[in-house]
Amino acid sequence: MSYPANYRYTKSHQWVLLEGQTASVGTTEYAQDTLGDIKFVELPNVGQTVQPDTAFGSIESVKSVTDVFSPVSGEVAAINEALKTKPELLNQDANDTWIIKVAVKDATAGETLSAAEYEQFIAEESTT
C-alpha cells in the first residue's frame, strides 16, 4: 500500500490534502482494504459544517459500516457525486478518490500523521 507524502492521515484512516483554503478528504488504502468491497457511501450536504472527531458520513461494505470523520473544520464545499453511483471507486483508487472538499476555517489539519507516521501506526495496529 502506498501513502502519498504530501497527504496527512488520521488514526480513523482518513487522509487530507490541504491546498490553500481547501482540503480534500478521503479514506486510506488501509481502510478500503480492511472494509472490502464498498457498496455505499453516505455523503453530507454541500454547506454542511464539519469538524474533527465528528462523523460527516459513512462507508458501507460487504463486511461492515464505518463512520467517516473530517480531519479539518470548515464547510463542505463539494461532494464527490460519482460515489453515489460508483462507491467502488474508493476500492479502485483510495488515494485519488476524494469524498468531500472542505472550505477550511484555518489551513491546519488537526491531529494528523505524516505518511511515515501513519504507516508505523497501521503496522502497530495490525499486530494488536
Strand partners, 19: 22
- The structural domains of the chain, with segments of one domain joined by +, span 8-126
| pLDDT of 52 | 86
| pLDDT tens digits for range 108-124 | 666 899 999 999 999 99
CATH topology of domain 8-126: OB fold (Dihydrolipoamide Acetyltransferase, E2P) (2.40.50)
Q: Cβ distance 98 to 79 under 8 Å?
A: no
pTM of the predicted model as reported, rounded to 2 decimal places: 0.92
Q: Which residues pair with 22 in a beta bridge?
A: 19, 103
d(Cα 21, Cα 41) in Å, to the nearest integer?
A: 25
Average pLDDT over residues 45-60: 94
Q: How far apart are CA 101 and CA 67, in angstroms?
A: 17
Residue type, 66: T
Could you read off the pLDDT of 28-49 as tens digits, one per residue?
Answer: 999 999 999 999 999 999 999 9
Rounded to the nearest 5°, which phi and psi values hold at 103? -80, 105
